[in-house]
Amino acid sequence: MKILVINTGSSSLKYQLFEMNDKSVLATGLIERIGENIAKHKFSSVNLKESIVIEKPIPNHEIGFSEMDQLLTNSNDGVIKNSSEISAIGHRVVHGGETFTKPTIIDEDVIKAIESNVPLAPLHNPGNLSGIYAAKKFFTGVPNVAVFDTAFHQTMPEGNYRYAIPNEFYEKYKVRRYGFHGTSHQYVSKLVANFLNKPIESLNLITLHLGNGASVCSIQNGKSIDTSMGMTPLEGLIMGTRAGDLDPAIPFFMADHVKLSYKEIDTILNKQSGLKGISALNDMRDILAKKKEGDKSAKLAIEMYVKRIRKYIGAYLVGLDGKLDAIVFTAGIGENANEIRKLCTENLSSLGIEIDEDKNNSSSKQVREINNEKSKIKILVVPTNEELEIAEQTQEVIKRIKIFR
Ligand code: ADP
């Protein structure tokens, strides 16, 4: 079975074609600047020695799909003969609101429900919808499945997802914590269950997804019970360019005193804050290198970044009544930055958390343990793969539908 995974933004289309028999990637592509003068299409596949880049105008997502289809089915080195070989398309959808608790086959009602969640994710859902409309038009007859970033967190108890503001904001406007990166937190928790050889239903984990965006998830008996991102991805950890937690009165101050517009404040908190706001850099590799050279703002950025993570580890450990099987590091920084992992977990032996420096310093693409033998709580590094998780969840939905038909 071949499954195409799609992740669309308002001007981008990212795709991967999976062969589900062995979970291998047959082809992968990224089209950027859709709708602008010249779009850039990068494509690689198992049949190509080197990736190719095509630059030409791509006015909309539907034409993007046509460009992708041409490369996938190219008679010389395509990976499929025609698109009828694609069994299903899995779409990443950022916000499922309270409507979606699991992956869902996309019909007209589901499209309407995703549209109704646009106010909750005005930057993401419209882009995701462009991909869904284009897929339905271009690949008629191929089933489409929506996999939501928020769905995994729908198991949070009300006491963890509500904000302490008047009830009507929740009841009328659905203002609450939703959480994101759900596919990643879910994927790594499944790999941890496998690695520890324990049923997922009996596992308590704190999973740290540390990429450009970053979030922590508290998992009790395999289910998300708390997470650091909130109604939007802005809350929680310090990220590449997002502030994370801050006094909610700061934006009022920026508006009233600094005289910034609502849009300017939004841009500052989402795009100019976080690691970038403190060190002027947002790539952790550059910040670590600067810190090594003795740069003070890089040092401060890392100190703040790590302190925020440690604050959440403490809070979630208590939220789990002290019963924790493992702390899990994943995504670009979590998988690769041994210095950050060390700083996040050092001096915690009184809590049963002890890292092994040699294990932490060795690199690998496999799931691995980096705690020492005395550590009661395991510390694990688990490479995430959100696209594969979307492909697997899509396959599950398709299989279920076939059984019921
Ligand atoms: P995204 O959220 O865009 O998917 P990634 O998960 O790829 O992001 O993570 C990107 C982050 O990972 C960047 O800050 C990058 O600097 C960091 N990163 C990647 N490799 C390393 C490394 N070897 N050491 C430190 N940081 C790294």
Q: How far is residue 214's CA from residue 326's CA, in Å, rounded to a whole number? A: 18
- Give pLDDT, residue 402: 72
> What are the tens digits of pLDDT across the range 37-65?
999 999 999 999 999 999 999 999 999 99
Q: How far is residue 255's CA from residue 366's CA, in Å, rounded to a whole number? A: 47
pLDDT along the chain (405 residues), means of 10: 95 97 97 95 96 96 95 93 94 94 95 92 90 93 95 98 98 96 97 98 98 97 98 96 97 98 96 97 97 98 98 98 98 98 98 98 94 98 97 95 65
Handedness of CA 160, 165, 166, 169 (dihedral sign): negative
Domain ranges of the chain: 2-148, 197-386
Could you tell me which residues come within 8 angstroms of residue 190 by beta carbon, excluding any fewer than 6 positions away?
200
Would the CB of 274 count as within 6 Å of ligand 1?
no
Q: How far is the CA of 40 from the centre of ligand 1 (A)?
A: 23
**Candidate CATH numbers 3.30.420.40, 3.40.1350.10, 3.40.30.10, 3.30.1490.100; the one for domain 2-148:** 3.30.420.40
CA-nearest residue for atom 8, ligand 1, is: 211
C-beta separation of 293 from 287 below 8 A: no
CATH superfamily of 197-386: ATPase, nucleotide binding domain (3.30.420.40)
Would the CB of 331 count as within 6 Å of ligand 1?
yes
Handedness of CA 369, 374, 375, 376 (dihedral sign): positive
- Give pLDDT, residue 324: 98
pTM, rounded to two decimals: 0.94
Task: For 352-405, give the DSSP string.
Answer: T--B-HHHHHS--SS-EE-B-TT-SSEEEE----HHHHHHHHHHHHHHHHHHH-
CA-nearest residue for atom 12, ligand 1, is: 332
Q: How far is residue 209's CA from residue 230's CA, in Å, rounded to a whole number? A: 15
Catalytic residue, chosen from 69, 77, 107, 149, is 149
Q: At 240, which amino acid appears?
A: G
The reply to whether domains 2-148 and 197-386 share a CATH topology is yes
The minimum-distance atom of ligand 1 relative to the CA of 282 is: 14
- Give pLDDT, residue 121: 87
